[in-house]
């Protein structure tokens, strides 16, 4: 199966009119096309992939994984991009920095982000097989668990020279996607973004992204926590691996000692929030229908949390906003919200006063 998406002229319309003033969140991450397929766990295991984790693959391998399968959905994605879209869907002001190629998928990615209301300044690299827009094959198992095989492509070529400093200077919070730490140029770009955020007195948030990502970069992530990061996002497996802790109580103590504000998600078990105000367990929001696909649950939780903090909510309330957003995205395929997130948060009585 050829991994293409969108027409040749997709996204070539005039640049969006962007609002002036501060941005709640500017996210930096892998700009990817998500291709979702339903698969049995046995097929994932036969492919040599670890269920519920992300593996890096080349473009040929990604195409092999899709042989004989019919995609359920093809949509622009990437973890941090999903979070930026979630912030915009809540009524926030969001920006995004990532890199795509000058191909159909790249044009579609740019169009999708701008249509979602996100200020996108993604530099486009040269067209060609060596720098095609990144793709992520998302294999959804019964029960909604997802396993990802990612061809990074142009996304991994993001470097310091690609950062839009004017956009970063408007950010209340700069949100970093841990997946990018695999690529030297992108790592340098994120270090520069951290320096710029500190110079502008912006908060720095980090998502460690995946257990395998933690395994590869544990020491560097820990150094970031001790020196540069104000907010940490991780799921339970990632947090215990990162901190070398065997229980959530140990994780909570370690995070409290680090001084960062942290949100540790636990799926249906809700989330653990560690902040100067104290440690709290926040229940998961009720899911309106059956869980269909957990792709993007963590991304949308982060969107709600970041939106809440940027608009003046305390960490526990921000976690509750995140839980509402996560509960919406698991009810359908894909990592982008379908329902009106702002209305859902308002109905739950959680909308920050500055956003009403």
User: Is the residue at 287 inside a domain?
Assistant: yes
* Ranges 14-18, 281-285, 332-336: which has the least confidence: 14-18
User: Is the residue at 6 inside a domain?
Assistant: no
User: Is the residue at 42 inside a domain?
Assistant: no
pLDDT grade, residue 1 (50/70/90)?
Answer: very low
User: Is the residue at 70 inside a domain?
Assistant: no
Query: Can you give the CATH number for the domain in which 124 is found?
Result: 3.40.1190.20
pTM (2 d.p.): 0.87
User: Is the residue at 43 inside a domain?
Assistant: no
User: Is the residue at 325 inside a domain?
Assistant: yes
Q: Cβ distance 45 to 296 under 8 Å? A: no
User: Is the residue at 107 inside a domain?
Assistant: yes
- What does the alpha-carbon distance between residue 106 and residue 4 come to, in Å, rounded to a whole number? 10
User: Is the residue at 166 inside a domain?
Assistant: yes
The backbone region for 267, taken as left when phi is positive above 0, alpha when psi lies in -120 to 50, beta otherwise, is: left
* Ranges 59-63, 124-128, 288-292, 324-328: which has the least confidence: 124-128
- What does the alpha-carbon distance between residue 227 and residue 74 come to, in Å, rounded to a whole number? 39
Number of domains in the chain: 1
Tens of pLDDT, residue by residue over 137-187, are 989 888 778 898 989 999 989 999 999 999 999 999 999 999 899 999 999
The backbone region for 7, taken as left when phi is positive above 0, alpha when psi lies in -120 to 50, beta otherwise, is: beta
Give the range of the structural domain holding residue 296, as residue numbers without chain letter: 23-32+78-132+154-355
């Amino acid at each position: 199966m050829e991994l293409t998406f969108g027409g040749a002229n997709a996204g070539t319309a005039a640049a969006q009119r962007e609002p002036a003033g501060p941005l709640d969140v500017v996210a930096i991450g892998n700009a990817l096309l998500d291709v979702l397929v339903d698969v049995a766990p046995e097929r994932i295991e036969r492919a040599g992939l670890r269920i519920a984790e992300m593996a890096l693959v080349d473009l040929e391998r990604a195409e092999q994984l899709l042989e004989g399968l019919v995609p359920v959905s093809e949509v622009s994605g990437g973890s941090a991009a999903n979070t930026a879209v979630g912030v915009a869907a809540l009524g926030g002001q969001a920006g995004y920095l990532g890199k795509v190629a000058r191909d159909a998928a790249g044009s579609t990615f740019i169009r999708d982000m701008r249509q979602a209301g996100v200020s996108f300044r993604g530099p486009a690299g040269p067209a060609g097989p060596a720098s095609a827009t990144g793709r992520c094959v998302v294999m959804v198992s019964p029960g909604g668990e997802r396993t990802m095989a990612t061809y990074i492509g142009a996304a991994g070529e993001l470097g310091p020279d690609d950062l839009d400093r004017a956009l970063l200077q408007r950010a209340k919070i700069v949100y970093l996607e841990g997946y990018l730490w695999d690529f030297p140029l992108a790592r340098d770009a994120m270090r520069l973004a951290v320096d710029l955020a500190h110079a502008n007195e912006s908060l720095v948030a980090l998502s460690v992204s995946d257990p395998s990502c933690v395994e590869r970069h544990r020491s560097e992530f820990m150094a970031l926590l001790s020196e540069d990061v104000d907010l940490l996002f991780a799921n339970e497996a990632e947090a215990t691996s990162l901190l070398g802790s065997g229980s959530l109580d140990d994780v909570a103590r370690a995070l409290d000692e680090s001084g960062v504000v942290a949100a540790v998600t636990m799926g249906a078990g809700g989330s653990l929030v560690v902040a100067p105000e104290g440690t709290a367990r926040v229940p998961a929001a009720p899911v309106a229908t059956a869980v269909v696909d957990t792709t993007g649950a963590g991304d949308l939780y982060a969107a709600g949390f970041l939106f809440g903090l940027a608009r003046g909510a305390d960490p526990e309330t921000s976690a509750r906003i995140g839980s509402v957003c996560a509960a919406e995205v698991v009810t359908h395929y894909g990592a982008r919200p379908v329902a009106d997130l702002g209305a859902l948060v308002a109905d739950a009585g959680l909308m920050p006063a500055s956003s009403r």
